[in-house]
Amino acid sequence: MISQEAIQKILGIESKVSLSADEMVKEMAVTFFPEKGTGIDENVIAFSKKLENSFKNLNIIIIPYESALEKVRLRRRISRIFRIIINNVRYVFIRIFRIKGEFYYINLRSLRRVIRSKRLKRNISVIVLGELHEDKLPMQFISSFKSNSVIHILPFPSNIKKESPFEEHFDTAMSLFAYHMANIVLAVDDSKWMVYNFNASHPIYDLNDNKFEEHILKALVPKIVAPISPHKFSDFNISKERFMIGDPIISALVVDLTQGALLFEKTKLFPSGKKIDDLPFRDNFHKYIGKLHLDNRSGMSFGFISKQLPVAISQILTLEETQSKYGAFLSKNKDYFKDSEGNIHIMFDLPEKGTVSLQVPDVWVLSLRSGSDKTHFKPEKDLLLLGLSSKGEMWMKFPVGTRIHDDYKPSFDTKVILAHAVGNAIIASIINYIDPKSEFVTKLVSSGISISHWHGYFREDLVPSNYLMYGFKNLHVACSSPQSAVYALGGKLDSFEKLLKDKKTYYGDIHVEPHHGVNISFPSLTTLAEYLIQNPEASKLGNIYLKE
């Protein structure tokens, strides 16, 4: 419906975002760690050779390990030492004064790891075989959590079968990540292999299905090129104004969220999260690194619930009206423009209406802080407002009276949540131009709608009536990656455009994220939970209903 460039402008994503496997391959470079760990069997060795040959056939750059390293400036090494000393001072301070806080004492042995003179260059991922000694784990030598992925090839876990439930995969994967300090684990035996990453996905492939390179291209490459990348406070404009839980509009949303959350507990779609302290890290230094990797979060939980606030509909302008009002800002080569105040407008074609434009609406979403208990949250301490302005800027508001602490972080899926919210607002503006009495428009304008996500999929014959499903063919990118947000908004608008051409009514949609889960915009969280309770086979955690 609109170009990728326009989508990125709306979402405030400035850097290049690769959406195809061919584009991603060009960005990828790997090296193989020279030291081999213990527990390596012939299956691990054979798989590593097969993987290396596939990388070569796909024209992925393979760099010798020594060439993949760079010298670390003395200033940077001193800075790392200083941060750890500060960490240790904080640790001692909170222990003495019994202050709430999560810091880990880093010993001298671990400090020596920090001052090493060489580290892996940015944008190079490292392949590791077997179980290494804790002092030699590559995660300790990378330059960037965002651009250096560590991929461990390990024997297939003995407890995992093809029929193993999501929870067992989840527990196994998180334990492997912590113990081996890995971003991705490739588990192999003599007949199959599996990919674990932070999406809690667990695709299992047949080694002899003659599709090995295809699986590498679609299931592994995207997870490396588009890794997990949680948003930091610095990515937001923090509003000085706080919101009140008792505000009439907010309180109605809170009621739906709390009641819906309690109902969702019965669906079992939101598993208990994992805390850093509960994972099998081999020492405090690894816990320290793990927490840094999660942007100082104390752990991870999976899925989200949120409620989009009522929106103000944007006016649709014809091409003639657009040229008359904004002619000076238009470009022949672009389907978007910014007005004198920096607001983004998009231009597109409507059936029987021709080319039209609208100003991208401001949107706000009431969401939970990362790591909170999804089904038993406390409104006064767990809620926050996330916003996306018509200028492509992210905003955040906190509740009145809430003390903001180190663990008060937005969801990993923040950009996806906002992508769905702005997509809903754009669609409502278009429908309002065609049919002002639309049920979708009335609901969004009067009381908002819910946006939720869990790590499972819908059974095709039990999808809520008249709901669109899209995204099956998208690459398997990590949550929080910019790709996931672009897929969300672009796919939503493209699906809506097809529906318009078919002259069908829009009620909402389900965005499928392969090897991650689903996002669904629904009239309310309560009615969605009731639907799932009444139809217990409609959706389940894990890959059982995923169409490859």
Average pLDDT, the chain: 92
Q: Is the pLDDT of residue 2 over 90?
A: yes
Q: Is the pLDDT of residue 113 over 90?
A: no
Q: Is the pLDDT of residue 406 over 80?
A: no
Name which residue leads in pLDDT, 38 or 392.
392
pTM: 0.93
Average pLDDT over residues 533-545: 95
d(CA 26, CA 7): 22
Q: Residue 380 — pLDDT band, cuts 50, 70, 90?
A: confident
Average pLDDT over residues 395-410: 82
Q: Which of 259-263, 367-371, 439-443 has the lowest mean pLDDT?
A: 367-371
- Predicted confidence at residue 78, as pLDDT, reads 86
d(CA 126, CA 530): 46
Tens digit of pLDDT for each residue in 137-148? 998 888 887 889
Average pLDDT over residues 536-544: 95
Of 222-236, 293-307, 449-463, highest mean pLDDT: 449-463
Closest by CA position to 110, among listed 296, 276, 292, 284: 284
Average pLDDT over residues 197-209: 91
Closest by CA position to 183, among listed 214, 137, 215: 137
Q: Residue 407 — pLDDT band, cuts 50, 70, 90?
A: low
Task: Quickly tell me which residue has 């996905």 as its tokens.
Answer: 201
Helices (H), 1-101: 4-11, 21-27, 42-57, 74-97
- Predicted confidence at residue 312, as pLDDT, reads 96
Q: Residue 162 — pLDDT band, cuts 50, 70, 90?
A: confident
Tens digit of pLDDT for each residue in 67-81? 999 998 888 888 888
d(CA 11, CA 482): 9
Count helices and strands (H / E) in the chain: 16, 26
